Structure formats: structure tokens, C-alpha cells
């Protein structure tokens, strides 16, 4: 059966109802894969994981204005709707929901969901209100769809923890399923923003994962500050001039990790290659 393209809420509800009570003849389970489009292999991996968890797979494409800052790339965020639909279909996605802005944020919409502790560190420092935008739109998409599972990549690890926290605190009956960061053959974490990189910039970006792996190898032999200086120096050496952060934090709550208890540590980095912001993280 070919993929169903839905653009409004009523259509979404009737499509899901039809699929849930369709040929499986049982109340089938539904997994959602929220995206902002520009579908690449990492999104495809999310769809594959969704299929492993549920009978019906719903992907969403919505470039959420609420999560972009004033000087960010909302206007030039890559758009490739037809190609996106084909790629989602080829991985077995059943429904793609591409809502208009008004369907998500109707006139007089007056709600923001804030997960303040987890949002105040790492990317939340530089990208003010970004995670409020993410939390609000994800809550809406989960509630609009009534999905049983939602699949997110660990590349956006802070986002993943924030979403887990909001689902827990709002009692949204949806299980959050993470998948490992998908990387290209050079270790570069796949991201829609990688399309902005030229060849020279890609060559620089390819070093990021290698440096993180080296840091991980030596993590238990060095002090935390030594690991951080090691990463900073190496990033500078390969030509990365602007570093937003290099931090080691607890995997579950993003609290600082100390030399006395290095368990559950994760290395997080955000850098700029020229004006393009890239993030990555790895378990230590
Ligand atoms: O990770 C993303 O692409 C977005 O932040 C998400 C989860 C689709 C919300 O807009």
C-alpha cells in the first residue's frame, strides 16, 4: 500500500483510525517519527526502528518556527517534500503528516512547554527558547497522533532527554524509543545541516568523531578537565575556530560529572565550522 499524505488534523485522525482498525483486524499500534524534513539516512533508520516497534508508522514533516532563534536558519532550512515522501515510503512508512503552521499553532495559540533544568545547559545556553519550541511541538504531535511509540535519535541527546522528561511529567501514554546516532563512513553524525558544508568544511567536520573517540579511549586515565582540554586543543588543531561547548555530563540528567564518580558520563560538543553549527555526543 502506498504512503498516505495528510495535511490537516481531521485527516490525520481518520487516517490513523483507518489504519488502526484495518486489515490487522485488531487495535494496531502506532509509532511516530517526528522530523523537519530533508530526510536522510538517519531519518530512515528512525522509520526502520518505528516499524520494529509498531504495526503502523507515521512520520511528520514540520519545520517548527518556535524552535528557531531570530538569527537562525528557519528561512533557508532545506526543503525537499517530494523526495522526502518517496524516501519515507521506500522504508515502509504508512502515513506522512505535513501540517500547515496554523494546524500546529492556530490563531490565539498561547502555550509553551518548558523543561527548565534540562534545557538550561549545553545547547540551551546559546539557543535560548529552542527547547521550549521543541517540547511544545513534540507534545502537540504526540497528542494529535496518540502514538504509542515515538522514535528519536541520540544525536540530539539533550532533546531526547527533554522529550522523555516531558512525556513522563505530562503522563503522555507514549513510549520514547531512542536509536544510536547514525554516522557516515567517516564518522560524521548525519544531520540535515550537513548539506550546508562544502568539501573543505566536510574534511574539517570529519575529524570531530575521531577526536571524540580518542577522548573516550583515555577518559578513565585522565582528569575530566584534562579530557576537555585534550578535545579543545584537537578541535582547534584541525581548524575549528569557534567552539560553543565541550562538556562532560551525566547521561541521565545532564548534571556535571566529577572525577570521583565518572559513571554514566557522556561527552557533548557543539562547534561552528564557519557559520554552520554542528553538534555531537558520545558515551564515555
Ligand atoms: O529533531 C528534530 O528534527 C526536531 O527538533 C523535532 C523533534 C522534529 C521537533 O521539531
Q: Atom of ligand 1 at shortest distance to CA of 34?
A: 8
Would you state the pLDDT for residue 24? 61
Would you state the pLDDT for residue 73? 83
Would you state the pLDDT for residue 215? 98
Residue 21 located in a structural domain: yes
Annotation marks residue 40 as catalytic: no
Residue nearest to atom 6 of ligand 1 (CA): 35
Residue nearest to atom 2 of ligand 1 (CA): 35
Residue nearest to atom 3 of ligand 1 (CA): 35
Q: Are residues 153 and 25 located together in one domain of the fold?
A: yes
Check if the beta carbon of residue 228 is closer than 8 Å to that of residue 261. no
> Grid coordinates representing 18?
483507518
Would you state the pLDDT for residue 25? 57
Q: Are residues 38 and 165 located together in one domain of the fold?
A: yes
Q: Are residues 125 and 210 located together in one domain of the fold?
A: no
Is the beta carbon of 150 within 6 A of some atom in ligand 1? no
Helices marked H in the chain: 9-20, 41-53, 81-90, 101-104, 116-119, 123-126, 130-145, 157-169, 199-205, 207-218, 224-237
Listed residue (86, 65, 62, 82) closest to 74, CA to CA: 65
Q: Are residues 129 and 258 located together in one domain of the fold?
A: no
Would you state the pLDDT for residue 88? 98
Is the beta carbon of 85 within 6 A of some atom in ligand 1? no
The structural domain count of the chain equals 2
Instruction: Give the helix/strand (H/E) hosting 83.
Output: helix 81-90
Q: Atom of ligand 1 at shortest distance to CA of 62?
A: 10
pTM exceeds 0.85, yes or no: yes
**CA–CA separation, 123 vs 18, rounded Å?**
40
Q: Which of 19, 40, 43, 130 is catalytic?
A: 43
Give strand ranges (E) for 85-132. 95-97
Q: Is 122 left (phi over 0), alpha (psi -120 to 50) or beta?
A: left
Residue 185 located in a structural domain: no
Check if the beta carbon of residue 151 is closer than 8 Å to that of residue 142. no
DSSP 279: E
Is the beta carbon of 64 within 6 A of some atom in ligand 1? yes
Query: CATH no. for residue 140?
Result: 3.40.50.620
Is the beta carbon of 153 within 6 A of some atom in ligand 1? no
Q: Are residues 36 and 156 located together in one domain of the fold?
A: yes
Q: Are residues 172 and 198 located together in one domain of the fold?
A: no
Q: Are residues 148 and 8 located together in one domain of the fold?
A: yes
Residue 25 located in a structural domain: yes
Each residue's pLDDT tens digit in the chain (284 positions)?
699 999 999 999 999 999 998 766 567 999 999 999 999 999 999 999 999 999 999 999 999 999 999 888 899 888 999 999 999 999 999 999 999 999 999 999 999 999 999 999 999 998 889 999 999 999 999 999 999 999 999 999 999 999 999 999 999 999 999 999 999 999 999 999 899 999 999 999 999 999 999 999 999 999 999 999 999 999 999 999 999 999 999 999 999 999 999 999 999 999 999 999 999 999 99
Residue 117 located in a structural domain: yes
Would you state the pLDDT for residue 1? 61
Domain end position, chosen among 154, 179, 204: 179
Residue nearest to atom 8 of ligand 1 (CA): 35
Residues sharing a CB contact under 8 Å with residue 221, sequence separation 6 or more, in sequence order = none
Is the beta carbon of 138 within 6 A of some atom in ligand 1? yes
Residue 34 located in a structural domain: yes
Query: CATH no. for residue 276?
Result: 3.30.1300.10
Residue 134 located in a structural domain: yes
Q: Return the residue matching grid coordinates 567517516.
A: 186
Q: Are residues 19 and 143 located together in one domain of the fold?
A: yes
Q: Are residues 218 and 168 located together in one domain of the fold?
A: no
Q: Are residues 19 and 110 located together in one domain of the fold?
A: yes
Residue 186 located in a structural domain: no
Domain end position, chosen among 121, 144, 179: 179
Distance 61 CA to ligand 1 centre (A): 9
Domain that includes residue 131, residue range: 4-179
Residue nearest to atom 5 of ligand 1 (CA): 134
Is the beta carbon of 35 within 6 A of some atom in ligand 1? yes
Q: Are residues 72 and 31 located together in one domain of the fold?
A: yes
Is the beta carbon of 134 within 6 A of some atom in ligand 1? yes
Would you state the pLDDT for residue 72? 87
Distance 107 CA to ligand 1 centre (A): 22
Residue 53 located in a structural domain: yes
Would you state the pLDDT for residue 21? 87
Q: Atom of ligand 1 at shortest distance to CA of 63?
A: 10
Residue nearest to atom 1 of ligand 1 (CA): 35
Q: Are residues 243 and 128 located together in one domain of the fold?
A: no
**CA–CA separation, 61 vs 223, rounded Å?**
43
Distance 35 CA to ligand 1 centre (A): 5
Amino acid at each position: 500500500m502506498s504512503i498516505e499524505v495528510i495535511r490537516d488534523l481531521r485527516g490525520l485522525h481518520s487516517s490513523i483510525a483507518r489504519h488502526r482498525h484495518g486489515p490487522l483486524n485488531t487495535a494496531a499500534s502506532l509509532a511516530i517519527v517526528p522530523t523537519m524534513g530533508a530526510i536522510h539516512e538517519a531519518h530512515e533508520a528512525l522509520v526502520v526502528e518505528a516499524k520494529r516497534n509498531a504495526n503502523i508508522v507515521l512520520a511528520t514533516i514540520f519545520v517548527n518556527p518556535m524552535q528557531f532563534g531570530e538569527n537562525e536558519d528557519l528561512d533557508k532550512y532545506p526543503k525537499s517534500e517530494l523526495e522526502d515522501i518517496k524516501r519515507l515510503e521506500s522504508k515502509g512508512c504508512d502515513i506522512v503528516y505535513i501540517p500547515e503552521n496554523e494546524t500546529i499553532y492556530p490563531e490565539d495559540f498561547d502555550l509553551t512547554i518548558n523543561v527548565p533544568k534540562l534545557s538550561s545547559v549545553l545547547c540551551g545556553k546559546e539557543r535560548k527558547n529552542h527547547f521550549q519550541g521543541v517540547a511544545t511541538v513534540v507534545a502537540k504531535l504526540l497528542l494529535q497522533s496518540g502514538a504509542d511509540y515515538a522514535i528519536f535519535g541520540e544525536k540530539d541527546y539533550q532533546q531526547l532527554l527533554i522529550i522523555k522528561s516531558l512525556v513522563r511529567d505530562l503522563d503522555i501514554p507514549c513510549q520514547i524509543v531512542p536509536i544510536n546516532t547514525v554516522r557516515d563512513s567517516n564518522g560524521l553524525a548525519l544531520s540535515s545541516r550537513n548539506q550546508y558544508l562544502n568539501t573543505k568544511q566536510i574534511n574539517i567536520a570529519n575529524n570531530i568523531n575521531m577526536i571524540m573517540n580518542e577522548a573516550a579511549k583515555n577518559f578513565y586515565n585522565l582528569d575530566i578537565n584534562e579530557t576537555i582540554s585534550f578535545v579543545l586543543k584537537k578541535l582547534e588543531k584541525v581548524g575549528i575556530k569557534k567552539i560553543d561547548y565541550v562538556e562532560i555530563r551525566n547521561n541521565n540528567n545532564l548534571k556535571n560529572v566529577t572525577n570521583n564518580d565518572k559513571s554514566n558520563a557522556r561527552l557533548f560538543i557543539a562547534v561552528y565550522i564557519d557559520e554552520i553549527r554542528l553538534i555531537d555526543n558520545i558515551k564515555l
